[in-house]
Amino acid sequence: MPTYEYTCRSCGKNFDQSRRLNESPSPCVCGSVDLAQIYHPPTVFVKGEPTTLGQLSERNTKNMGKYELQDKQKEQSEGKKKIETPWYTKSGAASASEINKMTSRQKASYIRKGKK
């Protein structure tokens, strides 16, 4: 069932009510049946060129990562800055039980090199 929002003209209280389309609304808690339905504008999404400031800012936020990546690639191709590799590896072949059996020195080596 759809939910409708009403305001009571006698006491001024706003309330929501679920009802069928052909049913009349229930009276307010004050007993009045003098109700006005509150209408809200629909939400609209526009695709295409951004026309509002909000749309422009969203587009710029999405593109910001692309621009930074392009700048970094440009610097690397010009030889200005070398992109550093991380000091750790992202994956390794050891299981959790094997890692727990390692000494602290072996763990540090495993984190850096990714080998057992």
The tens digit of pLDDT for each residue in 73-83 reads: 787 777 655 55
Q: What percent of the chain has pLDDT over 90?
A: 8
The tens digit of pLDDT for each residue in 41-83 reads: 877 766 777 677 777 777 777 777 777 777 777 877 776 555 5
94: confidence class by pLDDT, cuts 50, 70, 90:
confident
- Report the alpha-carbon distance of residue 4 to residue 19 in Å, rounded: 8
- Report the alpha-carbon distance of residue 6 to residue 23 in Å, rounded: 14
Evaluate whether 45 touches 34 at the Cβ level (below 8 Å): no
Task: Name the nearest CA neighbour of 91 among 107, 68, 111, 71.
Answer: 111
Q: What is the pLDDT of residue 7?
A: 92
Residue 116, pLDDT > 70, answer: no
Residue 13, pLDDT > 80, answer: yes
Evaluate whether 84 touches 108 at the Cβ level (below 8 Å): no
The mean pLDDT of 88-115, rounded to a whole number, is 77
| Kind plus residue range of the DSSP H or E element containing 37 | strand 35-38
Residues with Cβ < 8 Å from 82, sequence gap 6 or more?
Answer: 76
Evaluate whether 46 touches 61 at the Cβ level (below 8 Å): no
> Three-state SS for 94?
coil
- What are the structural domain ranges in the chain? 3-38, 49-84, 85-116
Residue 4, pLDDT > 80, answer: yes
